[in-house]
Amino acid sequence: MATNAATRSAADRAGPDGPADHAVRTEALWKIYPQEPRPVEAVRGVDLTVERGEFVAMAGPSGSGKTTVLNLLGGLTRPTRGKVWIDGLELSALPDRKLAAVRQNHIGFVFQSYNLLPMLTALENAEFTLMLQGVPARERRERVLRLFHEIGLEGMEHRRPFKLSGGQQQRVAVARAVLGAPALVLADEPTANLDSTTAEALLDVMQQLNRDKGTTFVFSTHDPRVMKRAGRLIRLVDGRIAEDVVRGGG
Amino acid sequence: MIHRIWWRIAWRNLWRSRRRTLLTASALAFGFVASVLMIGYMDGIVEEMVANGTRVVTGQVRIHAEGYEPERSIHDTMGGREGLDVEALLAAVETRNGVVGAAPRLYGGGLLSSGDETVGGVLVGVDPAREAAVSRFASALVEGRMPAPGEIAMGDGMAETVAVGMGDEVVLVAPAADGSTGNDLFTVSGIFSVGVGALDDSYALLEMGSLAELMAMDPGRIHEVAIAVEDIREPEPAAAAIREAVAGIAPGLRTEPWSIFQDQLYFMVNYVGAVNVYVAAFIFGMAAFGVANAMLLATFERRREFAVVRALGTPGGAIGRIVVYEGLLLGLISLGAGVLLAAPLMVYIHENPIDLSRYVGTYSFAGSAVRPLLTVEYSWAGPLASGLALVATGIVSALLPAWRAVRVPPADALANR
């Protein structure tokens, strides 16, 4: 594949250092869904290391395993085989309660269809993780309002999700994902339901957060705009990493 | 602090499907109303049965000589053959808390004759002034008044049998305590109808001294003190206080609440109480299925939301708590609606009982006249128990949906699998 960026194998990136030094590390990661007539191997032996502060896009055709990899990294599903470390914590060994604590404190999620909680206002949605973390109400409000100001959501605080546009909802979702200061934000096709202008604006916001706060982003995407902006592009084919390209910047 | 958000989410979730919530709450509220009215109605029946069973003759507590029952021998008077200081005994009883009144009685059996007619009957020597506070004889007089010395009042059935009316004379023949047979002439002063056939057909009242003379008994000899107490459903505390008060007056006195000497009635009261529990359990059990079904549906519709909050790091227990809080809030809303519905209905039916006797007549059970009245009795116990049952139904109905919500696999739910 022609590229002007350095291409490395997953094994190269694992390196000799321990998992605690990376935002993400996986080792021989497999996910097999038991199905008739034949089990589906959604992820097949993925070894992946993501450094802190990276802006990584995972691309690939439908069914290539992008979402499953994100779910495995986020502890939303357990691997059939292999190991996952997030911020040095091995997820596969953790019981459900501790896994929830890892998601609460180390991982932020942005979903394709926003998935804001419809019974909460924009502000309440954004502060949800902070609330779980036990941050006092006044501090929560201050942090949410500051971020809302930065990402252009001022005045939308008390609106319910159904009164926000798609782009606004996705920005609230991004705010919710990053406000808890996670080491890693996993975004599953975050621009798929947005028009070009809104998608670009959202990418600006995420890139700004990546740059200013050092938050690590891992996307799954079909969107060329996301791929173009990513500092590293991983292509998945049939549940395997087919290509891992570091382009610098991002 | 963090609990507040789970309550807020639960509350707002309830109102996302307003129609479903209102329908479910209505079902629970109607269950509450049905339970409260049913328990109130059964309480009304029980109250009426206890009142009729104890206010007509026996009172709610009685004192006898030990061994008087079941033979009811005329020799087994209180204090033995010497008798006792009746006024001191009555004073000790009447000064107890919760005692409304006490009436001494002397019992005998005899034949009443007038012309060619004769009937066997129970002769009761009474203190007419005291009797009114304990029994219904005085208030049930359809003609005349309570007997003075030399007079007799009898049930309307008995009067009909011997074909006598007011002012007529009857001859009484009764076995006396000295082994002789007493006989005397008495004038009919009153005719009563208490509504219990066995009493109206066979009871005759005489002034205490007149009967004592007929039966050759000293004035200090009586068979019974019948006592009326304030709490007719729970006479045991008053009975215990009376027992203690009379212990020093004469040996061998036996003080019993109606739950002992009206054992059939007591069984019936307990039976009705048990039936109430089962009927309420059935009502709320049925409601629980409906509520659980509605909540399961709501839980299924929100699988994706549960997955999202799980993804954000919410522990499974907190997710279950949201659903249980919804059940609890639904129960409380239903309780509020149920109280608003039940209260005016209870007041109306209590104030305007429907008399069904024109359709089914009256009957007596366990010595108690039962009027078929469709009414409800005020009490805290029924509404309180129904309210607790309703809230518990809300919570219990939420347990299965909560368990399902906790077990939603986040990755599958997010992918709509």
Which of A117, A129, A139, A170 is the best mutation test for B, with the most CBs of B within 10 A? A117
Least confident of A40-54, A204-218, B366-380: B366-380
CA distance B392 to chain A (A): 26
Q: Do B415 and A134 touch (CB under 8 A)?
A: no
Check pLDDT > 50 for residue A7. Answer: no
Which of A112, A124, A128 is the best mutation test for B, with the most CBs of B within 10 A? A128
Q: Does A171 touch chain B (CB under 8 A)?
A: no
pLDDT at B263: 85
Mean pLDDT, range B313-328, rounded to an integer: 92
Can you name the residues that pair with B363 across neighbouring β-strands?
B370
Q: Show me where the domains of chain A are located.
A: 6-246
Q: Do B305 and A118 touch (CB under 8 A)?
A: yes
Check pLDDT > 60 for residue B348. Answer: yes
B280 and B186 together in one domain: no
Check pLDDT > 90 for residue B79. Answer: no
Domain range for B394 is: 3-53+266-414
pLDDT tens readout for residues A140-150: 999 999 989 88
pLDDT at B225: 93
- With CA atoms as reference, report the closest residue to B305 among B166, B157, B408: B408
Check pLDDT > 50 for residue B218. Answer: yes
Q: Does A20 touch chain B (CB under 8 A)?
A: no
CA distance B335 to chain A (A): 24
Q: Residue A132 is nearest to which of B314, B409, B414, comparing CB atoms?
A: B314
Could you tell me which chain A residue has the CA closest to the CA of B9? A119
Could you tell me which chain A residue has the CA closest to the CA of B317? A97
Architecture of domain A6-246 in this structure: 3-Layer(aba) Sandwich (3.40)
pLDDT greater at residue A20 or residue B279: B279
Confidence of residue B366 (pLDDT cuts 50, 70, 90): low
Confidence of residue B202 (pLDDT cuts 50, 70, 90): very high
Q: Does A192 touch chain B (CB under 8 A)?
A: no
- Give the domain-ending residue among B236, B258, B280: B258
Q: Do A117 and B309 touch (CB under 8 A)?
A: yes
B234 and B309 together in one domain: no
B288 and B197 together in one domain: no
Mean pLDDT, range A81-102, rounded to an integer: 90
pLDDT at A20: 63
The rounded percent of chain B whose pLDDT value lies above 70 is: 97
Mean pLDDT, range B210-223, rounded to an integer: 90
Confidence of residue B363 (pLDDT cuts 50, 70, 90): low
CA distance B396 to chain A (A): 24
pLDDT at A235: 95
CA distance A167 to chain B (A): 19
Give me chain A's average pLDDT, please. 87
Give the count of Cβ contacts less than 8 A between chain A and B: 76
pLDDT at B162: 93
B35 and B158 together in one domain: no
B76 and B117 together in one domain: yes
pLDDT greater at residue B401 or residue A14: B401
- Give the domain-ending residue among B207, B226, B258: B258
